[in-house]
Amino acid sequence: MPNEFTQTFTKDQEKRISLYFRISIFIKGAISLAETLAGIALLFIPVSYFLNLLALYAEAELREDSGGFIASHLLQLSQQAALISGTFIALYLLSRGLVKVLLIWAMLKNQLWAYPASLVVIGLFVLYQVYQIATLHSWLVVLLTLFDLVVMYFIWREYEVLKFEA
């Protein structure tokens, strides 16, 4: 039975939204897979190794351009990450990545339960990211949060369409 929500979009618009959904999910999946792999790597390679490389790179860039926006933020990120336990970072990335990879896989298989579950999980990560934005003032986290909100919109839209078709 059609509702006013599903009637507001034409078939072409629904196809476009579905395409945007798939693109955003594939990007989110790639990011989640990278988080999972980074989490696994950090279980075996000390975080300090990566932070030292990041700091060395940022410092070299800042010597060339003392006002370098990206380099100064990378240096700030490496200093902030140095305060956090390497095991915590590894487990955080691993769990965050695995949960999202599994949910994305389920959504690509059109498992209806995965859509609301994904909205809840990503929503919780967005809340945590808002906390990080307030405390760390990271533009990278702001961009990630905005991307997550866009992905959440497409998940919700696709769920509404699939629910209507079921």
Lowest model confidence (mean pLDDT) among 59-63, 75-79, 108-112, 123-127? 75-79
> What 3-state class would DSSP assign to 51?
helix
Q: Is the pLDDT of residue 155 over 70?
A: yes
Confidence of residue 88 (pLDDT cuts 50, 70, 90): confident
Element counts in the chain: helices (H) and strands (E): 6, 0
Which positions ≥6 away from 62 have C-beta within 8 Å?
A: 68, 71, 72, 75
Q: Which residue has the higher pLDDT, 48 or 22?
A: 22
Domain boundaries, the chain: 11-165
- Tell me, letter by letter, the H, E, C secondary structure of 97-162: HHHHHHHHHHHHCCCCCHHHHHHHHHHHHHHHHHHHHHHHCCHHHHHHHHHHHHHHHHHHHHHHHH
Over residues 109-121, the pLDDT tens digits come to 989 999 999 999 9
State residue 166's pLDDT score. Answer: 67
Q: Is the pLDDT of residue 8 over 80?
A: no
* Reported pTM: 0.72
